[in-house]
Amino acid sequence: MLILIAGPYRSGTGDDPDKMAENLRRLEAPSYALFRAGHVPMIGEWVALPVWRAAGGKEIGDDLYEEIFHPAAGRLLRLCDGVLRLSGESRGADNDVRLATERGIPVWYRLEDVPGVFEAS
C-alpha cells in the first residue's frame, strides 16, 4: 500500500527551520518499518518542498507555500491506500485524516496497527 505519514511539520515551530527539520525526521521515522512491511511510505513534504523550491519559494508561509503544501497532501491522498497519523497538533495532518475518512481510506494512529508492520518487525 502507498501510505501517507501525517503529523506535525510546521505546527508549533514558529517557522524555525531546525524545529521543522526535526519534525520532518519524526515523520520519516516510521518509513523504514512501513517499507519492510511491503508498503511505500509517503510524506507530503517530500513532494511539496521540492515543488515549492522549484516554483521560487523563499519564505515559509508565503503565498506560494500556502498554494502548494496542503494541496500537495490532498492530491497525494487520491493515490494513497492509507494514512498513518502521528501524534501532535497539526491542522494539515488533521485535514489529511478528514479527507481520508471522507474517501473511505483507512487511518491508523499506531504504526503497529498498519497491516503487515507487526509481522515484519
The full set of domain ranges for the chain reads 2-120
Domain 2-120 coded CATH 3.90.1150.10: no
**In 3D, which of 110, 111, 105 has the Cα closest to residue 80?**
105
Q: What is the pLDDT confidence band of residue 118, given thresholds at 50, 70 and 90?
A: confident
Record the pTM: 0.93
- Does 27 score more than 70 pLDDT? yes
Task: Round to whole Å and give the CA distance between 31 and 9.
Answer: 15
- Retrieve residue 1's grid coordinates: 500500500
